[in-house]
Structure 1
């Protein structure tokens, strides 16, 4: 068995796969351990049944033990050694450019990158520590969200700041959601029967955390997220790009520290901040339909930001094979897809309303025949990408 782990400071999402690839569904089960250090809730979906247990998760190690014990109770594994490899999603691995076995050097790189991903990397490390202790015979593989973007040229990843900030402190655009982009590029190449090295794409990964990627010849040319996942597009609770002078202005007005204001930019801004209603796009679409002006403002702002970046990225490419929507909003919100495309004025891109409004499957063309650029919806699967990456180390 191969286990895929996405760990936060108080939760561990997991998905268990068969070791040997097969034609049928390779997923065995999936679930999440939540409220770690508070009390503990474990939910597992197995054979179309979803079961929840109240647990005592004092730390990540006890959560890992609880997860694995339930695997055994369900009869999925007899012994822990049946899990031969574990793939971890890690947001920032610094200069690491591909999936790799987690040895002392890689562990240090993850630790050293905490300052670039303080909300994500610590959770990954405590999960790695727990599994290393409890599953000592399993191969541990790091899969890095920023690694896909290592092909971005210096002219695109550098900020217009003193160059010594980059040379001394590595202040640069890293980019994130790389596992999703890797999956989408490979999936589109497979289904379109094209070599990924020939593909030029604009991918819109739109969810609670939103970003976009400009893909040239199958590689990342540019992306919207930057030094941290706070930069780029407006998101559920994140501001995205703003005038940096706002930070100094608000720290003085509210007598707050830079850290406190940054916390607000991360957790109380974006859709939530503008609407004063919700960070969930579904709530805002409903509120907009009922005439709530703040909800309309937030939705329109979000759609306009995505539309503007589509135009920017199309302009970077010699031609575009497809514009692709993916992730929670991108996959499931025909209203937002239509709103975004309607706000693109300079390109002859338009949707087939019937196709756009149909319930989404894993791969769907939603543009009209008259559209100058095909538009697709593709369901992303970052866990599957981690599984494939991890599986390669067993061959």
Structure 2
């Protein structure tokens, strides 16, 4: 079995896979949260939901309790049944592939804390905890940044003093790479075309959102940058703004740069702009009621995404296999997909309204026959991608 872990500073999201004939099958998933506060664990197994109020003072105690419940539910006989643990790591710096976590890799993840202070520390704590609890098990790191390391210098460098890049790694890294890799490989299998011949524009639209431009199966550009704050308007993140706004608002609100950056990360985007919610579903509900500001929010969001789609279509010189929507909003909001497509008429895209509103389990083709290229909604599966990468390094 392979356990996939996505750890935060006070939470551990996990999914357990059984491997049958070299095919991973998800059998259990769950979330331990409020670690270090009071502790709460929920597990879904065999269609049943199990909940536990349990004090978990740290990640070690959380992992011990999670593994104990695996045994109680008879998912495993003991922890030796877990052959490897795969971790989602947001920032891997210059690491370009999934890797076995050794001392050198651990230090690299540690060095990237300054680049991803909200994400990497939680991963490091979880890795340390698993080392203690399961010292003989292979630990594998899959990085959100690695898929985008194929961007060229012209794309990933900023127009700032070049010394900033040489000394401080100031460059575009890009994120959501595990999702993009999954979607690229998934689509290749769907249309039976080699990954290396695929040109795609992929819109990963969730609470965090980005767009990636994939040429010959490799990322050549993406909207997120040095941090996940850049690019699109998101759930609570501003996306791209004039950087002088930060200095201006420091003076206007009598706050420091760190406080303003926190507002841009946690109080902006859909939440701050709409003054309704960070959840697109709630904004669309207000749109349907005729709320003009909700309409403005939806329009601004849709235009923002559409502008990047057109930009990336230019990068691909119009030679595009498909436009793909994924993640929470992209997978589920027919309204958002429609609004975005309505704003990229220059590309000759034609939406099939009846198909666009259908429910689906895996993927859905939403373009008409006369669309210049195909449009799909495809459900991403980052945990499965991490599991597959873990299998590749442990088999």
TM-score, scaled relative to structure 1: 0.98
Give the match for residue 8 of structure 2.
Answer: 8
Q: 1:389 — aligned with what? A: 389
Which residue does 2:379 correspond to in 1?
Answer: 379
User: 1:326 is matched with which residue?
Assistant: 326
CA distance, structure 2, for counterparts of residue 324 and residue 334 of structure 1: 13
Tell me how far 1:291 sits from its aligned partner: 1.6
Q: Whole-Å Cα distance in 2 between the matches of residues 5 and 12 of structure 1?
A: 7
- Determine the C-alpha separation between the residues in 2 that align with 1:250 and 1:258: 9
Q: Are 1:357 and 2:350 an aligned pair?
A: no
CA distance in 2, matches of 1:338, 1:393: 41
Q: Name the structure 2 match of 1:347.
A: 347
Partner of 1:27: 26
Once the two structures are TM-superposed, the CA of residue 293 in structure 1 deviates from its matched residue by: 2.0
1:230 counterpart = 2:229 = yes
Q: Give the aligned partner of residue 194 of structure 2.
A: 195
Q: Equivalences for 1:104-253 in 2 at 5 Å?
A: 104-253=103-252
Q: Which residue of 1 aligns with 2:338?
A: 338
Q: 1:196 and 1:2 mapped to 2: Cα distance?
A: 26
Q: Check the 8 A contact 1:274/1:297 in 2, yes or no.
A: no
Residues in 1 aligned to 2:360 and 2:271: alpha-carbon distance in whole angstroms: 26
Q: Give the deviation of 1:113 after TM superposition.
A: 0.2
Query: Which residue does the alignment assign to 1:308?
Result: 307
Aligned residues: 394
Q: Report how far residue 21 of structure 1 moved.
A: 4.1
Contact 1:2 1:83 in 2 (8 A): yes
Alignment partner of 1:87 is 2:86: yes
SS of 1:136's equivalent in the other structure is coil
- Once the two structures are superposed, residues 17-36 of structure 1 have per-residue CA deviations (whole angstroms, 9 ceiling, x without a partner) of 1134466x711200000111
2:256 is the counterpart of 1:275: no
SS of 2:346 mapped into structure 1 = coil
Name stretches of at least 5 consecutive residues in structure 1 with no aligned partner: none
For 1:21 and 1:115, the matched residues in 2 are separated by 41
1:151-196 CA distance string (max 9 Å, x none): 0011000111111111110100000000000000000000110001
Structure 2 counterpart SS, 1:113? helix
Whether the aligned pair in 2 keeps the contact of 1:237 and 1:265 (CA below 8 Å) is yes
Give structure 2 stretches of 5+ with no counterpart.
none
Residues in 1 aligned to 2:257 and 2:108: alpha-carbon distance in whole angstroms: 26
Q: Distance in 2 between the 1:77 and 1:137 partners?
A: 17
Q: Distance in 1 between matches of 2:146 and 2:21?
A: 25
SS of the equivalent of 1:140 reads strand
Give, in angstroms, the shift of residue 50 of structure 1.
1.0
Q: How much has 1:276 moved relative to structure 2?
A: 0.7
* Counterpart contact for 1:331–1:360, Cα < 8 Å: no
Q: What per-residue deviation string (whole Å, max 9, x for no partner) do you get for residues 228-281 of structure 1?
A: 000010000000000000000000010101000000000000000011110000
Aligned-residue offset at 1:360: 2.5
Deviation per CA, 1:291-313, whole angstroms, max 9, x where unpaired?
A: 22221111111110000000000
CA distance in 2, matches of 1:203, 1:321: 11
1:112 shift after superposition: 0.2
Which residue in the other structure is 2:51 paired with?
52
Say whether the 8 Å CA contact 1:42–1:53 is kept in structure 2. yes
- The CA distance in 2 between the partners of 1:295 and 1:383, in whole Å, is 33
Tell me the alpha carbon deviations over residues 203-240 of structure 1, each in whole angstroms, 9 at most, x when there is no partner. Answer: 00000000010000000000000000000100000000
Contact 1:3/1:83 (CA < 8 Å) preserved in 2? Answer: yes
SS of the counterpart of 2:116?
A: coil
Alignment of 1:40 with 2:39, yes or no, is: yes
Where 1:76 maps in the other structure, the secondary structure is coil
Q: Where do 4+ consecutive residues of structure 1 move more than 3 Å?
A: 19-23
Does the aligned pair in 2 maintain the 1:332–1:360 contact within 8 Å?
no
Counterpart-to-counterpart distance in 2, 1:39 and 1:9: 14
